[in-house]
Structure 1
Amino acid sequence: LYKIEKLVTLLNESFKTMVIPTEKICIDESVVPFLGRLIFRQYLKNKRHRYGIKIFKLCAEGGYCVTYKIYSGKEQDQRATNLSAKVVLELVEPYLDFGRTVYTDN
C-alpha cells in the first residue's frame, strides 16, 4: 500500500476540492474485485465479488465520493472501539460540528 500512498493522498485531496458535502453524507464500504496476491485481500461471502480490496467511502448526497480509506488489515493500535466506529470517526472528523446527518449501514 505504501507504493500508492501518494496517489491515494492526491486523489483524496482532489475529491475534497471538487464538491462540498451538503447536509446529508453517507459512509459505505465497497469491494474492488481483485484475485491477485495481497496480504490485505478480503473474503466477503455476502458480496457479489467475494475476493477483493475493501474500501470505506464518504459520499455526498449525489453519490460523489468525497474521501475514502483503503482497509489494509488489522492495525497495531487495537483499542476499545471497533473497526466500523473507528473508520466512521476518521472519515467524518473534518465535517463534524456543521449540522450534517451521517448515514451508515450495519
Structure 2
Amino acid sequence: MLTPLENFYLQQEEPFGGCFMALRDLILKFDKDISPEWKYGMPFFYYKRKMFCYLWHHKKYQRPYIGIVESKHIEHPDLIIEKRARMKIMLIDPVEDLPVEAINSILKLALAKY
C-alpha cells in the first residue's frame, strides 16, 4: 500500500506529475540532511527535523511551486511573497526545463537561515 506522500506524486496529471517528481529529486539531492515528509496534506521537506520547503500548485496561475518556509528575509528575483507572512514561493513552469541554478541558489539562501 502506498503512503499519502507517494500517492501525491502518482496522482498528479502531466505535466505537473513529472515536474513535481523532478523538483522532489532536486531538493533531496541538494543536502543529505533534507528528508521528505507528508504534512498539511502536501509534500514537505525537512532540514534536520525543521520545516524547510514544500511543493504545491498555485490555483490562480495553474503552476506548481516551491514554498520556502524561512524566506521572509531572503531576497531573490524569482521569489514572490503574495499574502504570506513568513514564506515566499517560486513558481515553476511545468512544460519548461527546471531552472536548476535559480532553485539551487534559493535553496542555498534558505539553508543559511537554519
TM-score (ref. length: structure 1) = 0.30
Q: From the CA coordinates, give the structure whose radius of gyration is larger.
A: 1
TM-score, scaled relative to structure 2: 0.28
